[in-house]
A and B are shown apart, each in its own frame.
Chain A
Amino acid sequence: MHQTAEFHKRVKDALNNSQLRSNFRVAMDGLMEKRSNAFPDKQFLEELRITGSKLRANALVKQADLLEQLEANCTRNGIKVHWAETIEEANHIVLGIMDSHNATRMIKGKSMVSEEMELNHFLEAHGKECVESDLGEYIIQLDHETPSHIIAPAIHKSKQEIAKLFQSKHPDIPYSEDIETMTRSARQILRSKFYDAEIGLSGVNFAVAETGTICLVENEGNGRMCTTAPPVHIAVTGIEKVLEKLEDVPPLLKLLTRSASGQHISTYFNMITSPRKPGEKDGPKEVHLVLLDNQRSKIYEDEELFDSLRCIRCGACMNHCPVYTKIGGHAYGSLIPGPIGSVIEPQKFGLDKFGILPTNSTLCGACGEVCPVKIPLPKLLHRLRYEQVRNDHTGATNGQGSRRSAKEAMIWKLWSWAHARPAVYRTGTKVAALFRGLMPNKMGPWTRVRTAPKIAPKSLHELAREEGFDNE
């Protein structure tokens, strides 16, 4: 299978890259420790997680009404609201806004939805310049890469690699491996971009229906710059980000910053409710909000998978995932990596494209345990494993049944047939025990790093009978 072979190649390359593995190991250990320190009281954490999951679930249950309320309030406040079913529609909306201002220069704050839209690529093809301003995003843009982590996009790179990258792209700046010096260089380079940009684009962390407010969480100030300095601000968001009330924000903000990076609060929490009003001396004169569906309303259809829409994009599930920590974000081949990516991306883009991802998990349960909004990630990974092999054509998931193999299906049919017939089962185990000497020592990839399993001379049933247990 094409998808599987490509995935295995990426995993192999990642595992053979010791620099990459060390970068991830160190970073993920640090992030896990920071989160743990930010939640010293486990009962407090549990209560907060319950509150957070209920607030998100409540907003999702009422999503259609809340989106309409959000639109009405934003419109009343002067924010123009746009709806897009597909990423193509969303891209054209952004392009249309730029063209209506004859704008060619965009400065971008960190937005995973804009990555989902592949907005930079689209706009560049239309002759627009898009500059990423989040430090991590800026670094990977310089190297023409995609994010390897949703919160820390350049986490796969070491400081030496970044120093070399800066030197090759900005030879006029003295070479330095000092992190603060490199950070200041980015400040110098991007300052004129903020000054010059005609359009600022941002994502959205929460969109509050009650007041029509767009909320942004950030530390660098680039998010504020993008939403304050250029004359036009465009915010792009998935439709699931809507919240009912302003008072729903604080518990979720607390969960988000502590789960993501162990911060009690981010440096900036930026709430935008309207464009510049008459008399105000700065801020964008136009604010647009693009609401993107891109399969979210389809995920909404399934009673169980619907829970994946609660995600607040903190990244804790990937930080704690033993698989992500080993292979890193790029090996997944999807925009969002880690456990939540393995649940969301196959649903968005189809199991036929990303069906391998739900199998890329040890089901150890760490992701479900740390999720601040209690998304039952292991259960959902399991569910998608079922979705990709079921063939009754009743589920709503894209690419359902696409990874069903006739051989595997037959083996399981045989297995269940034999286990429902005690005589067949007993004969089977007897025969297996009799020929146990014929078991091969080499059993493909399994025995490359393990000794081959051997069938026991006596079955458990036989041993139990010898010990005096009867058939009951």
Chain B
Amino acid sequence: MSNARANILARLRARTAEKTPVDLDRGFESPDWSKEERIEHFCKAMRSVKTEVHLVSATDWANKLAELAKAKAFKNLLYAPAGPLATQIEAAWKKDSELPVLVTREVDVDGWKEELFFDIDAAITSTRSGIAEVGAMILWPTPEEPRTFSLVPPVHIAVVEADKLHNTFSDAIINEKWYEGMPTNSLLISGPSKSADIEQTLAYGVHGPVELIVLLIQ
């Protein structure tokens, strides 16, 4: 390899001493919101970017999921059998034989990429937490719930727990101590995919999900 690294660093270092250090106060302020206010901000911001938000409880969300899956006539629903949502999804599906097929693949995505890209209607994932201020959910995909689940199928359904909402993004990073170690991939998601590249006119459903459904557990 060339000396690019050494040359670049040497050029920068030759001038670093001349630069005035910046007096930085990183004490970012956070609003003083109650849980209800956080829910209100989260729902309002999420809905403003065309997310379908349903307020549910910790015990009945899977029934709501079944109801939506039926109403929207999905052919199938991708879920993570080893993920935190599996038990309740499987229980709800046992109650009704008319529901879309539950799909699961234990192997690496490379082994069934074609099916994932072209044959899956919807996928459901859990979330790590959320940000009330801007209406975003935080995902740290895991081996059980891979990152393509929230990306490739046309519909993404996410379960968000209101107790885990932070006021701001700064709060999430600091309260959850992200600086101690980041996962392979972490994501903020706010709404279904969109573009305004043609005449600055907003159109939903580009390369990510066309629809985002949030089940918010109060």
Chain A interfacial positions (CB closer than 8 Å to B): 23, 26-27, 30-31, 51, 54-55, 57-58, 60-64, 67-68, 82-85, 89, 133-136, 139, 152-155, 157-159, 162, 179-180, 182-184, 186-187, 190-191, 194-195, 210-213, 219-222, 224-225, 228-229, 231, 239, 245-251, 253-254, 261, 264-277, 279-283, 291, 293, 297-298, 300-301, 303, 306
Contacts and interface: CB of A to CB of B under 8 A. Distances in A.
Interface in B171-218: 173-174, 178-179, 181-201, 203-209
A219 B16 CA distance: 36
Contact of B208 (A162, A210, A224, A291): A224
A267 B200 contact: no
B94 interface: no
B71 interface: no
B108 A282 contact: yes
16 contacts: A23-B199, A51-B28, A57-B22, A67-B12, A82-B1, A83-B4, A85-B2, A222-B206, A265-B188, A271-B186, A273-B182, A277-B184, A280-B143, A281-B108, A283-B185, A301-B15
B32 interface: no
A210 B198 contact: no
Contacts of B86: none
Given A228-B148, A267-B190, A279 B143 contact: yes
B198 A182 contact: yes
B72 interface: no
Interface stretch (B56-64, B109-117, B120-128, B157-165): B109-117
Interface of B: 1-2, 4-5, 7-9, 11-16, 18-24, 26, 28, 45, 49, 107-110, 113-114, 117-118, 131, 133-136, 142-143, 146-148, 151-152, 168-170, 173-174, 178-179, 181-201, 203-209
B18 A303 contact: yes
Most buried by A among B7, B12, B195: B195
B200 A27 contact: yes
Contacts of B19: 60-61, 303, 306
A25 to B, nearest CB: 12
B12 A83 contact: no
A214 B15 CA distance: 26
Given A267-B208, A273-B184, A300 B198 contact: no
